[in-house]
Amino acid sequence: MGICDGRTVIITGAARGLGRAYALAFAAEGANVVVNDIGTSLGGEGRDTSAADEVVAEIIAASGKAIANYEDVTDWDAAGRIVEAAIAAFGDLHVVVNNAGIVRDRMFVSATIEEWDATMHVHLRGHFCISRHAVNYWRAKQKDGRDPGARIINTTSGAGLQGSIAQAAYSTAKGGIASLTLVQAAELGRYGITANALAPSARTRMTEQAFADKMATQGADFDVMDPANIAPAVVWLGSAESRDVTGCVFELEGGKIMIEDGWREGPVVDKSARWQPEEVGAAVERLLAARTPPRKVWGS
């Protein structure tokens, strides 16, 4: 018996790296898994369905239940078909793990509009489309008197929480996903749906390229950057046991589980009257001296 017995989960970008680790872990805990991946390159080019097929074969060989799906999460109608495929194959849907993403690293002064749009498209539109279709299904269940026990698990990033040099588009998209999670949690709880986000740090195609030295931990007693380290927390968030946890952003790395404190009001100076422009500088100096210093932007 696993903590996700009988639950059905869609995982986008599930053929490699973190998505693959999530798929295997969910299946090991009894979930029915939809392995969604169109098999693009790191930058979003090309198509290759074989990687998703391999993950499904691995799950089935271990006596798990899974199907492959090659639909594009950024296409509104295709995203609907992913949800339909999960229900057709397994009779229900409980969890959406939004993991698919691309990266187009570029210093801001060299960034192009095409790279910007492509990054926003995959991360923000991709998170929206499939979750929106899933919510339609879950809301209908709730209105029919059935508790959907549903979970949305989004993927933000340290880049989205604190910024990252040469990743303006990626950081912006991931920051937007963190905000989206807060809104989903606030709006969807009434329908029996929770929404949480992850900022995972692990070895993937993306991080091996950007942080090669940090990711090279394979020979250590504990491989801190093994993507399988992230999966247990994701599986728990997808289980019935996480019903009371929503609107949270978790940073995960190795054996660490950290919950983000989020944006909150800091020091304040109140004149109780309108400020003159020449007065503002001194007030800001006081605020800067009193605040908790922010984390540095990655790479700065």
Map out the domains of the chain as residue ranges: 8-259
Q: Residues 248, 1, 135, 60: what is their CA dihedral angle, to the nearest 10 degrees?
A: 110
The whole-chain average pLDDT of the chain stands at 92
Residue 135, burial from CB neighbour count under 10 angstroms (0-12, 13-18, 19+): buried
Would you call 170 a catalytic residue per the annotation?
yes
Given this model, what pLDDT does residue 237 score? Answer: 98
SS (H, E, C) the chain: CCCCCCCEEEEECCCCHHHHHHHHHHHHCCCEEEEECCCCCCCCCCCCCHHHHHHHHHHHHCCCEEEEECCCCCCHHHHHHHHHHHHHHHCCCCEEECCCCCCCCECHHHCCHHHHHHHHHHHHHHHHHHHHHHHHHHHHHHHCCCCCCEEEEEECCHHHHHCECCEHHHHHHHHHHHHHHHHHHHHHHHHCEEEEEEEEECCCHHHHHHCHHHHCCCCCCCCCCCHHHCHHHHHHHCCHHHCCCCCCEEEEECCEEEECCCCCCCCCCCCCCCCCHHHHHHHHHHHHHHCCCCCCCECC
In one-letter notation, the amino acid at residue 199 is: A
Catalytic choice (22, 131, 141, 157) = 157
CA separation for the pair 277, 296 (Å, rounded): 29
pLDDT of residue 203: 75
Position 40 confidence tier, pLDDT thresholds 50, 70, 90: low
pLDDT greater than 70 at residue 291: yes
Least confident of 29-33, 90-94, 99-103, 108-112: 99-103
Confidence of residue 218 (pLDDT cuts 50, 70, 90): low
What's the CATH class of domain 8-259?
Answer: alpha beta
> Structure pTM?
0.93
Given a cut of 60, whether residue 52 has pLDDT beyond it is yes
Task: Round to whole Å and give the CA distance between 160 and 170.
Answer: 7
Using the predicted structure, report yes or no on whether residue 208 has a pLDDT greater than 60: no
Let me know if 157 is a catalytic residue. yes
The per-residue pLDDT for range 114-158, each reduced to its tens digit, is 999 999 999 999 999 999 999 999 999 999 999 999 999 999 999
Q: What was the pLDDT predicted at 211?
A: 53
Look up residue 123 and give its two tokens. Answer: 């991360």
Annotated catalytic residue, options 22, 174, 201, 242? 174
Does residue 63 carry a catalytic annotation? no
Q: Which of 22, 141, 170, 171 is catalytic?
A: 170
The residue ranking higher by pLDDT, 123 or 104, is 123
